[in-house]
Amino acid sequence: MGIDVGIGPGSESEPKIKHLWINSLKSAPKYYWEDFKVGDTASMGEMRVDKDEVIAFAQAYDPQPFHIDEEAAKRSFFSGLIASGWHTCAMVMRMMVDSYLRDSASLGSPGVENVRWLKPVRPGDTIRAQRHVLETRASQSKPGIGIVKSRWEVFNQDGELVMTMEGYGMFERRNPGAA
Amino acid sequence: MGIDVGIGPGSESEPKIKHLWINSLKSAPKYYWEDFKVGDTASMGEMRVDKDEVIAFAQAYDPQPFHIDEEAAKRSFFSGLIASGWHTCAMVMRMMVDSYLRDSASLGSPGVENVRWLKPVRPGDTIRAQRHVLETRASQSKPGIGIVKSRWEVFNQDGELVMTMEGYGMFERRNPGAA
């Protein structure tokens, strides 16, 4: 948890302010740290994997032949074009934002772990994702902040598990003073 | 190591072929699995963090206010626009490809772990990255393939460590028959 959670409004130089909306939402967040409970499971919806986007993402960030060149990819280890694993992570992030982070008092993430690209994700696939709350704890040093550890699972249209990861989210607390 | 390393050319249906270049490079790779040695450390170069790109990436994949809206970001926890952590990962991936994977017999990655976004990465920053080889081992089930575990460290222009991660790369072996 290396991120410096002392930066920005709400740090020592400011009086303790309860609902600061320091995540800059335009309205009150629906979900604070307290709204995530261990064992919660929810769908994050689905997303179609677009070929042009697979190629464009990889041309910018991961220009290996099996991500950007359809003919070379056919001759490759993967027998066809596959999405960069980072593109899959980015798509999952978008599903997170659309399904819950957009309405939450999210303060970003200090990190993720155990990212596993289990099966190729290919243009034309439809991926869907689920989230599971593994742990929650209040920050020791910052009374206004809580940490949520989640596991995300990504499946393709055939029900195959194509990617998993775990990670931490920081959220404003609704009741910073509570135990 | 969940990826099915049996897919594609080189699997059971094919005779054992030595230099198949199954990663589809246009020429012989410079680096095979054998060329990665525990303890190797190398620079992966540097990259400037462009504001328009920070916003465009986040609009597509991580549209939280502190990544896409300069004014909202100023009022946020982060006191200004920051790059999506996934964008930083993607930039590091690009540095990996440009600095060594492009010339290697890379066969993708089954995963990464311990991704830590330690400090904000901001538009205008210049990040540089280093790689360290932590472990190497030949695949037990696939004689043509070896695994390299690396650690990547990312610094900003002030020498601050902004991100670290570890992960696995699969590479073709130069000498699949060797012990």
Asked if B99 has any chain A CB less than 8 Å from its own CB, the reply is: no
Task: Match 């990544």 to its residue by tokens.
Answer: B67
- The whole-number mean pLDDT for each consecutive block of 10 residues of chain A, a chain of 179 residues, reads 33 37 65 97 97 97 96 93 98 97 95 98 98 96 93 98 98 84
d(CA A176, CA A139): 10
Asked if B82 has any chain A CB less than 8 Å from its own CB, the reply is: yes
**A26: DSSP letter:** S
Give the dihedral sign, CA B105/B109/B115/B120: positive
Task: Report ipTM (2 d.p.).
Answer: 0.87
Contacts of residue A118, defined as CB under 8 A and 6 or more positions apart, other chains included, come to: A161, A162, A163, A164, B2, B3, B110
Pick from B93, B97, B107: CB nearest A77:
B107
Pick from A77, A118, A119: CB nearest B10:
A77
Q: What is the mean pLDDT of residues B156-177?
A: 95
pLDDT of residue A43: 98
Closest Cα in chain B, distance from residue A111 (Å): 4
Q: Cα angle at B105 between B99 and B107, to 5 degrees? A: 100
Task: Match 């089930």 to its residue by tokens.
Answer: B141
Nearest chain B residue (CA) to A20 = B76
pLDDT of residue A25: 57
d(CA A128, CA B53): 27
d(CA B89, CA A111): 11
Q: Give the percent of chain B with pLDDT over 70.
A: 85
**A34: DSSP letter:** G
Nearest chain A residue (CA) to B76 = A22
Contacts of residue B176, defined as CB under 8 A and 6 or more positions apart, other chains included, come to: B16, B18, B143, B144
Is residue B119 within 8 Å of B162, Cβ to Cβ? yes
Structure tokens at B51: 């504001």
pLDDT of residue B179: 61
Residues of B in contact with A75 (CB under 8 A): 9, 22, 24
pLDDT of B178 higher than 80: no
B39 vs B24, higher pLDDT? B39
pLDDT of residue A178: 72
Closest Cα in chain A, distance from residue B39 (Å): 23
A122 vs B1, higher pLDDT? A122
- Note whether B94 contacts A63, CB cutoff 8 Å: yes
Give the dihedral sign, CA B58/B59/B64/B68: positive
Asked if B84 has any chain A CB less than 8 Å from its own CB, the reply is: yes
Residues of A in contact with B97 (CB under 8 A): 62-64
Is residue A121 within 8 Å of B5, Cβ to Cβ? no
| Contacts across the A-B interface (CB distance below 8 Å) | 167
Query: Average pLDDT, whole number, for chain B?
Result: 87
Structure tokens at A52: 């042009």
Q: How many CB atoms lie within 10 A of CB A151?
A: 15
Give the dihedral sign, CA A64/B134/B17/B28: positive
- Closest-CA residue to B89 (of B116, B60, B59): B116
Asked if A102 has any chain B CB less than 8 Å from its own CB, the reply is: yes
Q: Among the ranges B9-13, B35-39, B73-77, B174-178, which has the highest mean pLDDT value?
A: B35-39
Question: pLDDT (tens digit, 9 = 90+) per residue, B99-127?
Answer: 999 999 999 999 999 999 999 999 999 99
pLDDT of residue B25: 57
Question: pLDDT (tens digit, 9 = 90+) per residue, B48-103?
Answer: 999 999 999 999 999 999 999 999 999 988 999 999 999 999 999 999 999 999 99
Structure tokens at B23: 């990663």
pLDDT of residue A18: 38
Residues of A in contact with B69 (CB under 8 A): 24
Pick from A4, A65, A111: CB nearest B115:
A111
Is residue A127 within 8 Å of A154, Cβ to Cβ? yes
d(CA A63, CA A72): 12
Q: What is the mean pLDDT of residues B9-29?
A: 47
B-proximal residues of A, 22-81, CB under 8 Å: 22-25, 57, 60-66, 69, 72-73, 75-79
pLDDT of B128 higher than 80: yes
